[in-house]
A and B are shown apart, each in its own frame.
Chain A
Amino acid sequence: MVWAILSIKVENKPGILFKVTHLFRSRNFNIDSISVGVTEDKKFSRMTITTIGDEKQITQIVKQLDKMIDTIEVRRLDVNNSVYRELVMFKIKVSKPEDSMEINKLASAYSAKTHDAKKESIMVEMTATPHQISAFEELAKKFGIKEMARTGITALEREEHEH
């Protein structure tokens, strides 16, 4: 099984997200994460979908997405040659006064920001790879995670040639 990042340029019209996700459902594929936003050209949106499957399945997903009339371009990004990040927000419990300082220290070690520091909780915002997010999540568990929200991955491939 491999993890793949698909970058899909679509027309910026209503109903297309529905069609793309419906394709995954009806073809028995998995969506691991999905993020959508407008591109540099406002006529188009870019969906970044991460999925897990064997090579044959992922080839099939790309072909089926490509076949969709609303998709303008479908690319499987080279994971080793792409920058991919996810935004995550944690609400972490503060049980005793020193927790607050420790959470701040942990956040700064991960280049994360803190918001809304209250007596009972602190909000942490971080942009990182899924791997780093999992690592942070593990460490934050000892304080207690009240809530967590993730955006799903967005990604761009690095330029091929350096001049």
Chain B
Amino acid sequence: MSDNNKMNETMIGATALMKALEKEGVKEVFGLPGGANLPMYDELGKSNIRHILVRHEQSAAHMADGFGRVSRKPGVCFATSGPGATNLLTGIATAQADSAPMVAVTGQVPVAMIGKDAFQESDIIGMANPALKYSYQPRTPEEIPTMVKQGFYIAETGRPGPVLLDIPKDVQQNEANIPFPDEVRVPGYHPWTDPDMQNTGRAVELLLSAQKPIILAGGGVIISSAFAELQSIAELLMIPVVTTFKGKGAFPEDHPLSLGPIGMHGHAEANKLMTEADCVLAIGTRFSDRSVGTFEEFEKNLKIIHMDVDPAEIGKNQTTSVAVVGDVRTSLRIFGKLLMDKAVRPSDDNPWLKHVKETKQYWRENLKLHPGEMGAAKILRKLRELLPKESIVTTEVGQHQMWASLFFDAIHPGTFFSSTGLGTMGWGFPAAIGAKTARPDVPVVDIAGDGSFNMTEHSLATAVLEDLPVIVFLINNYSLGMVAQWQRTFYDRRMVGVDLKKCPDYVKLAESYGAQGIRAQSMDELEKAIKDGLNSDVATVIDIPIDPEEDVLPFVAPGTGLKDMILPS
């Protein structure tokens, strides 16, 4: 498969791995050593690559994921064989669900031991297969550089995703005359197709003929950096923009045309206007059930133009009127050019635009919020006010995540990241550390809930010792709040397994790791805490106790449509 084998050098497999990673521009890896990856670690120590030590491999995968989403280059994580590798699984599946570029490198038992149920042996390729974009298991050291090069190419192109390189210990240790290809070819892999001009033309006609058009921007806009292209089309035609939750940050949420995310916990105005539109330009989205509710309801009276890089997404969840397959940035550029000749900017008294404006204003003024001083909306708006716009925000998974979607505006392109597909609790904090590694120049905040933060709070050690001062904005209701909300709503308040009983004390927890811990029980304390966090040289946990009964609203119950959303009473 490899072409152009320019130079060969004699070295062991582990050295070849480090050299190959360096050639891909890797500057840091997140990981934890063990028996089967010791040769790699020995060579890692001699290389120029920085090792960021984790306390659990799941966090290494999430850090690599956060790094990858922010830098749009694969983040790299290392783990040993057996439990080290299986601990990566949740992180790999998370990256796959959200199309994040990642290269995971695991140690494996020596080739001759594979299949013998050796100590710390697991068939990680078999286990991880459905969660991987691709996988490799070199059987000779000579194969390593080609596999690394192909692996990076596959992980970061087309629809990005995780790639696993599982390297038996003897393959790491053995010496060989090893080729380093400058180029690789992967015959069965066609990451991009050119957008079909005829379909793009039809899409333009369809959008121009719509009376009540809307744009639905998904995560694909962020992945392909199509921010400017999207904004120029929206502004040219004056089309309101909703996003999926994954697409939050694809369009500035302080823009007059922005309506925010749709979905289970979408903005009321976004959900409402989405159901009223007659034509949607859906860009880089897979129409997940969390975004659109029931599919049959969603497509009623709606013409759907679907742009996506992945041909398999066309028609998978949603029947479409016109599909444009290709990199969405390229598609949007062509779309924009075709529009230029034909577009007429609607006048200010256009009835749809007037209605959009009024609906947005109504809900921004009339959505009932929690009355307390430390209500979710108030504390998140305070955070937005004090946080520089270029800051990167990650979230954990749960109520706080949905409050962040509702009340924390993502303004700069690609500054908001969350585990939106797999919904992995414990993702946000290590992902924030990975993001900080990629962008040490900007503040990075993990908007967290206590239940989620529990799952990877050990990463405080990494943040402190590796000098990666992120802020954990801990919205603390001492419960598994989202589950509690569902038990209150659907199970007649029968609360089971959701009370975390004020354990642990997060200020003491932070301090025990050498981080800064601050409790904020009033707006004044919160303001000071955020400022202290931003000025701090070490990681900061801001513990913000809130009312455990506060619900996330609006709420589209599972199995219902966007128009059925439950509003605060």
Contact = CB atoms under 8 A, between A and B. Distances in A.
B345 to A, nearest CB: 38
Contacts of B316: 60, 63
Given A18-B126, A69-B154, A60 B312 contact: yes
B386 interface: no
Nearest to A62: B312
A64 interface: yes
B187 A60 contact: no
Nearest to A68: B188
Contacts of B134: 69
A72 B188 contact: yes
Nearest to B319: A56
Interface in B280-320: 310-312, 314-316
A84 B125 CA distance: 34
Contact of A11 (B126, B130, B188, B314): B188
Contacts of A18: 126, 129
Contact of A22 (B130, B154, B189): B130
B186 interface: yes
Interface residues of A, number: 20
Contacts of B133: 69
A11 B188 CA distance: 9
A71 B312 contact: no
Nearest to A9: B188
A72 B187 contact: yes
Among A15, A23, A67, A72, find the residue whose CB has the most chain B CB atoms closer than 10 A: A67
Nearest to B187: A72
Contacts of B312: 60, 63-64, 66-67
Contacts of B129: 18-19, 22
A157 interface: no
A70 interface: yes
Nearest to B137: A15
A15 B186 contact: no
Interface in B167-199: 186-189
Nearest to B125: A15
A67 B311 contact: yes
Nearest to A67: B312
A59 B186 CA distance: 24
A80 interface: no
Nearest to B159: A67
B130 A70 contact: no
Nearest to A74: B188
Interface in A5-31: 10-11, 15, 18-19, 22-23, 26
Contacts of A70: 188
A148 B134 CA distance: 38
A111 to B, nearest CB: 39
Contacts of A23: 130
A60 B315 contact: yes
B186 A69 contact: yes
B188 A71 contact: yes
A17 to B, nearest CB: 12
B452 to A, nearest CB: 26
Contact of B311 (A11, A56, A66, A71): A66
Contact of B315 (A56, A68, A69, A71): A56
A72 B314 CA distance: 21
Interface in B121-138: 125-126, 129-130, 133-134
A69 B130 contact: no
A19 B521 CA distance: 53
A137 B249 CA distance: 62
A13 B154 CA distance: 18
Contacts of B315: 56, 59-60
B187 A11 contact: yes
B323 to A, nearest CB: 11
A36 to B, nearest CB: 16
A137 to B, nearest CB: 36
A66 B158 CA distance: 14
A60 B286 CA distance: 13
Contacts of A11: 187-188
Interface in A131-154: none
A26 B130 contact: yes
B186 A67 contact: no
B301 to A, nearest CB: 21
Given A26-B130, A60-B315, A69 B188 contact: yes
Interface in B69-89: none
Contacts of A67: 310-312
A10 B312 CA distance: 19
Nearest to A10: B188
A64 to B, nearest CB: 5
A31 to B, nearest CB: 16
Rank and list the top 6 A-B pairs by shortest CB-CB distance, nearest first: A63-B312, A26-B130, A69-B189, A72-B188, A67-B312, A69-B188
28 contacts: A10-B188, A11-B187, A15-B125, A18-B126, A19-B129, A23-B130, A26-B130, A59-B315, A60-B312, A60-B315, A63-B311, A63-B312, A63-B314, A63-B316, A64-B312, A66-B311, A66-B312, A67-B310, A67-B311, A69-B133, A69-B134, A69-B154, A69-B186, A69-B188, A69-B189, A70-B188, A71-B188, A72-B187
